[in-house]
Amino acid sequence: MEGTDGFLYRTTLVGGGNGLGTAFRLSKTGTITLLHSFCNTIDCHDGANPAFLTQGIDGNFYGVTGPTNPPTSVLFRMSRTGSNYTVLHTFDLKAQPDGTGVFGMLQAPDGNSYGTTVAGDQLKPYNSVFRFNPVTGQYTILHGFNSPNINLPNIASSGLTLASDGKLYGLRVDSIHYRITLSGSYHEIGPVSPTQFSDGDLIEASDGNLWGDFFFGDPGIVFASTLSGSVLYNIPLNSAVNGFEAFGLLQAADGKLYGMSFENGAPTNGQPSNGSFWVIDAGLPPPHATLVNFQPTSGKPGSTFLLQGSHFVGTTMVAIDGVCAKFHVLTANYVRVTVPAGATTGKISVTNAGGTSTSTREFTVP
């Protein structure tokens, strides 16, 4: 992922000084800097086999190791230099209903991060939806998925997406689509495919519908459904052309949907392929920016603040209460904004090819 400083950040699953994975920084000229080697000994419980990194609005990176037995599966915070590494929560697959490992995390407008755990004890609540406060470190289980029978699984099988209605949406095994509020009210909506099983991606695209894919299923599909569960599309992948076991679905600034396949695909130079990169043009409009949070929440003219959200690539204007501001797009998820002269307290608006989006909260100009 791209950090707000212009470097690329990532983890390796194994390797490093202890063989249990690393976090590293990559410059766009190709220089790699090791930030942290994970360890799991009597004197060190950093976790093992890190899965991903995400950057919070505080500038720190947050990630998860595992899924493996405790104490090797943890949620951690790491500074951009790697010099400050802190374990914030240790996952326990036998603790009801925690689980271990995480599909991914997102930060919501309330400042909390939300995610789903990957695995747990089979005959107990197997995994969960959780809320994590990066300021206080408080970790809260919002919903536990129970798997009393392996033939009737009730297991979370995707990360979460925050939709325009302010609710979180995800997938569980058997392609069941569900929603959950930020306070933990859970509701199952229904299946999105008769052929798919588990491990998928889910996003809200610019048409206001949920689009997703599945890693396990034959031949693998990309689907679309309304927030209420009406299935619009089941687009099958062709293993001989674009592979199967799809993952990584996202919508780019051009409105098209991009993803990858883990195996197969069209031959290249007469040789078999081991995966593919594909695009779906569903005629969707370019996505508008989504404004999630900003920090600090107030500032005098000439000061700067960080605006957090999505689809900031291609931004043409940022304004505070209608007064245009100077800005610098740092990543697809962050913009640095300078409070303009003449600005007054009001909402922040961002304009890109998809239109103009406005924050729900006001920025205060003293």
260 belongs to a structural domain: yes
**Looking at the structure, do residues 213 and 187 belong to the same domain, yes or no?**
yes
Q: What is the pLDDT of residue 149?
A: 59
**Looking at the structure, do residues 219 and 269 belong to the same domain, yes or no?**
yes
CA 147 to chain CA centroid, nearest Å? 25
Residue that is last in its domain, among 245, 264, 287 = 287
**Looking at the structure, do residues 314 and 267 belong to the same domain, yes or no?**
no
Domain count, the chain: 2
**Looking at the structure, do residues 162 and 280 belong to the same domain, yes or no?**
yes
Residues 171, 202: contact at Cβ < 8 Å? yes
Instruction: Give every residue of the chain whose pLDDT is below 70, as ranges.
Output: 96, 121-125, 147-153, 217-218
Give the CATH number for residue 348: 2.60.40.10
Residue that is last in its domain, among 239, 256, 287 = 287
Give the CATH number for residue 192: 2.130.10.10
Q: What is the pLDDT of residue 153?
A: 67
166 belongs to a structural domain: yes
From 51, 40, 169, 154, select the one nearest 100 (Cα to Cα): 51
Q: Which domain holds residue 231?
A: 157-287
Q: What is the pLDDT of residue 40?
A: 81
Residue that is last in its domain, among 287, 305, 333 = 287
Q: What is the pLDDT of residue 43?
A: 74
C-alpha separations of 22 from 17, 94, 366 in Å:
8, 26, 44
Q: What is the pLDDT of residue 44?
A: 83
Q: Which amino acid is at 17?
A: G
Q: Buried (b) or exposed (e) across 255-278, using 16+ Cβ within 10 A?
A: bebebbbbebbeeeeeeebeebeb
Q: What is the pLDDT of residue 123?
A: 57
**Looking at the structure, do residues 215 and 314 belong to the same domain, yes or no?**
no
First to last CA, the chain: 35
Residues 285, 206: contact at Cβ < 8 Å? yes
**Looking at the structure, do residues 248 and 266 belong to the same domain, yes or no?**
yes
| Helix runs in the chain, H state only | none
187 belongs to a structural domain: yes
CA distance 247 to 244: 9
CA distance 179 to 162: 10
320 belongs to a structural domain: yes
CA distance 126 to 118: 8
CA distance 167 to 187: 11
Q: What is the pLDDT of residue 218?
A: 64
**Looking at the structure, do residues 309 and 238 belong to the same domain, yes or no?**
no
**Looking at the structure, do residues 249 and 356 belong to the same domain, yes or no?**
no
